[in-house]
């Protein structure tokens, strides 16, 4: 079982409008709702690939009930969310059908009490006993300590469970120092962490700060990996046009899936890039096009070298 942690779960709402204009009233042509938050998105892709996944984090209020009801209807996903008194946040994506651009509005999340945080930590330790890998993903809701991910990484390492961290800002900086097996920042997050805008140099510096391996998202240019086994770049075969919402989460799912299947790094990266690209091409934001994924998987260009450091 793969465990995904989404401390700031969400109910994702997607509105489609013909053309998004400031200071104007809009008629919405289509509305979609689904459970969200980065780790939930990762879990959805993993389940679609055939992995058993447990989803944990917090859920509360009417939106939390809606999230749990929708999770219950998803094959391969186990609801291990911890209840809180506050209401789970909503995220609102407005898709401009004319340009394809997406405008995102993210609520902050519920206030988590110290007792609720302690209950989550107990549940997390129990879930690790059956986990083959764990992903710690996304932002922290109010009330959760900024060093939360660092503590969760140490608990996973003590249990012998490999852990991937996908967050930003101070939670990323503190988390890296706890020595996660993989960190997956984008180029901007990596530059903020290290002060370097050259991705390879920044990835090397992030490893010096504690990360065992670094996989950086480079947008349309794919992924850069700096690991103890080698350094590689992986890129889609062509420039893609579509909606990038969820593409980074699909890349995380590909990395975890490859880890669970025991794939070497080049094959893990190819899977991650193919899933990310297939998400951009999917007609529904945040989903992936399986036909496109299978077609792209053999065409991802992976270049690099095996090293001893």
Active site (catalytic) residues = 249
Under 8 Å between Cβ of 234 and 302 = yes
- Quote the CA–CA distance of 136 and 151 in Å, as a whole number: 11
Sign for the CA dihedral angle at 242, 248, 253, 257 comes to: positive
End-to-end CA distance of the chain: 30
- Cα–Cα separations (whole angstroms), residue 292 to 80, 118, 241: 31, 43, 13
- Identify the bridge partners of residue 216 per DSSP, sorted by sequence position: 224
């Amino acid at each position: 079982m793969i465990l995904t942690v989404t401390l700031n779960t969400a109910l994702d709402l997607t509105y489609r409008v013909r053309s998004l204009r400031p200071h104007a009233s809009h008629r919405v042509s289509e509305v979609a709702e689904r459970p969200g938050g980065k780790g939930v998105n990762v879990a959805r892709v993993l389940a679609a690939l055939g992995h058993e996944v447990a989803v944990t984090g917090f859920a509360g209020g009417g939106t939390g009930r809606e999230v749990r009801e929708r999770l219950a209807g998803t094959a391969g996903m186990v609801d291990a969310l911890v209840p809180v008194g506050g209401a789970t946040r909503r995220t609102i994506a407005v898709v401009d059908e004319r340009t394809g651009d997406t405008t995102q509005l993210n609520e902050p999340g519920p206030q988590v009490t110290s007792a609720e945080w302690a209950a989550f930590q107990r549940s997390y330790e129990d879930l690790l006993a059956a986990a083959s890998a764990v992903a710690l993903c996304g932002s922290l809701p109010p009330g959760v300590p900024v060093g939360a991910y660092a503590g969760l990484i140490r608990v996973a390492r003590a249990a012998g469970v490999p852990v991937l961290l996908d967050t930003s800002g101070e939670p990323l900086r503190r988390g890296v120092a706890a020595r996660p097996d993989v960190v997956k920042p984008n180029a901007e997050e990596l530059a903020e962490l290290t002060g370097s805008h050259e991705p390879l140099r920044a990835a090397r510096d992030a490893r010096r700060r504690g990360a065992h391996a670094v996989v950086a998202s480079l947008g349309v240019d794919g992924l850069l990996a700096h690991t103890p086994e080698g350094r590689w770049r992986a890129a889609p075969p062509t420039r893609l046009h579509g909606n990038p919402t969820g593409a980074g989460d699909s890349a995380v799912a590909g990395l975890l899936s490859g880890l669970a299947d025991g794939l070497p790094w080049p094959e893990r990266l190819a899977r991650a890039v193919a899933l990310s690209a297939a998400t951009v091409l999917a007609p529904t934001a945040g989903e992936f096009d399986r036909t496109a994924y299978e077609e792209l998987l053999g065409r991802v260009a992976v270049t690099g070298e095996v090293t001893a450091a």
